[in-house]
Amino acid sequence: MNETFSIRRATGENVTRAAVVFSSVNANGFSFFKLFEQFSENLHRIYIRDPFDQWYDQGVSEEITSWDALLRAITTALEELNVKQVMTFGSSMGGYASLRVASHINPHICIAISPQTLLDNRLPHTPKTPVAEANRDLALYLNGWRPNNAAIFFGAADFVDIYNVFRINWQGADLFPIKGQDHLVAQHLLSKRVLLAIVNDFVLKGTYTPNLRIQGRGIRLDRACFDEVQRLLITRIVEGFYRGGDWNVLKYTRALKALHKWADGLHLEAKQLARARQFDEAMLAAESAFKLAPSSVTISDSWAAICRQAGDTEAAILGYRRSLGLRSKHYQALCCLGELLFDIGETQEATEMLRQAAEVRPRREKAQSIAARLGLKLDK
């Protein structure tokens, strides 16, 4: 938990490959640690974690206090390891970092999952406070980058993921929109052992075959986002809903619906209707979105939140329980469920939900602040 930059040498001899693994936001330790430690004999590993959750904008420690310093530290470490082939790897905040570093060091392989390419804090999954202007937009670094071996995986049921990916003029990278998945698609890829197979290929052979590793594992792609008209509509929906753009969100979600059944189109339509306090229509749209993407925790949460706004506590509780069925340690659902259970008098279970949330994300304050407001003690 206290380490932020760790170099772990392979135990075998004459190892010439290394992975630079960046952690996601709110990580209690190094992300993907268990995945990469399976290859400790034949792979050098450099694990990096941002304790500030600021997309590495402030560096990672008292010694490494900026992006430039982080790049120098990575370059120095790779030189000392004397490697010939490098993989950069990360999801979300780590995906942003994987791409950013790759554009500077040109690794043998770059894997980025659900990466942000624009750090506008009006968008989901972005830093709470603004980052330095030089670190805000990955287009500054990626639009001139021509990667030979870069794979970008993202949720095809998540418009913000799609928006982030297609802002960039990719020249050679492989794009994988995963059907029915949202921003948390990394968990899906882990459970299907896709990421294990990709890392194994790199470690043993130095090869890059993500297309082959998807086949036969129940991974489906949704290529509708490659359609230029649909992608333009998605861009306008995201910029209108999240970034204050002068676009009629309902107009564009309904135009998009005529072209393709997009789960996130219905999801954002539901949220826009809820903003207008049209809750009956909002709940119907949210439920339809979940039926299209039943593996999406984001969409499940949204349905539950809309039910809560509408005053349907029972449905909201069922919705958040559904989210926990998809991801048992989902912080947002644990916090919201704790509040709702307290409201209906289930104090013991409410306390347990908030306790679990505090254990899952000890650096976040929401669970503790809810417990304090409700007069609940989370210490066992």
Q: Which residues contact 34 (CB under 8 A, 6 or more apart)?
A: none
Residues 231-278 pLDDT 10s: 999 999 999 999 999 999 999 999 999 999 899 999 999 999 999 999
Q: Which residues contact 33 (CB under 8 A, 6 or more apart)?
A: 21, 47
The Cα–Cα gap between 259 and 20 comes to 40
The Cα–Cα gap between 352 and 334 comes to 9
Task: Identify the pLDDT of residue 1.
Answer: 56
Residue with tokens 């490659």: 226
Residues 306-326 pLDDT 10s: 999 999 999 999 999 999 999
Q: Which domain holds residue 134?
A: 5-223
Rg (CA), the chain: 21
pLDDT bucket at 20, cuts 50 / 70 / 90: very high
User: Has residue 329 been placed in a domain?
Assistant: yes
The Cα–Cα gap between 222 and 207 comes to 25
* Residue 287: exposure state from Cβ atoms within 10 A (0-12, 13-18, ≥19): middle
Q: What are phi and psi of 172, to 5 degrees?
A: 120, -15
Query: Which domain-ending residue is among 208, 223, 238?
Result: 223
One domain for residues 217 and 126 = yes
Percent of the chain with pLDDT over 90: 89
Helix (H) or strand (E) holding 113: strand 109-113
Task: Identify the pLDDT of residue 380.
Answer: 65
One domain for residues 146 and 251 = no
The Cα–Cα gap between 287 and 137 comes to 34
Residue with tokens 């120095």: 76
DSSP β-ladder status, 150-155 and 5-8: unpaired
Task: Identify the pLDDT of residue 44.
Answer: 98
- The mean of the pLDDT values for the chain is 94
The Cα–Cα gap between 174 and 211 comes to 9
One domain for residues 192 and 74 = yes
User: Has residue 194 been placed in a domain?
Assistant: yes
Residues 105-148 pLDDT 10s: 999 999 999 999 999 999 999 998 999 999 999 999 998 888 88
Q: Which residues contact 152 (CB under 8 A, 6 or more apart)?
A: 95, 99, 112, 113, 115, 165, 170, 173, 174, 175, 176
Residues 214-229 pLDDT 10s: 988 999 999 999 999 9
The Cα–Cα gap between 62 and 114 comes to 29
Q: DSSP letters along 257-293, please?
A: HTT---HHHHHHHHHHHHHTT-HHHHHHHHHHHHHH-
Whole-model pTM: value is 0.91
One domain for residues 185 and 329 = no
Tokens of 161: 């993921």
Task: Provide the terminal-to-terminal Cα distance of the chain, rounded to the nearest Å.
Answer: 21
Domain count, the chain: 2
One domain for residues 250 and 358 = yes
Q: Which residues contact 174 (CB under 8 A, 6 or more apart)?
A: 150, 151, 152, 210, 211
CATH (domain of 60): 3.40.50.1820
Instruction: Over range 82-102, report the average pLDDT.
Output: 97
120-135: string of b/e by CB count within 10 Å (b at 16+)?
A: eeebebbbeeebeeeb
**C-alpha 333: how far from chain center:** 16
User: Has residue 379 been placed in a domain?
Assistant: no
Sign of the dihedral through C-alpha 296, 168, 236, 226: negative
CB–CB of 96/116 below 8 Å? yes
One domain for residues 204 and 232 = no
User: Has residue 380 been placed in a domain?
Assistant: no
One domain for residues 208 and 236 = no
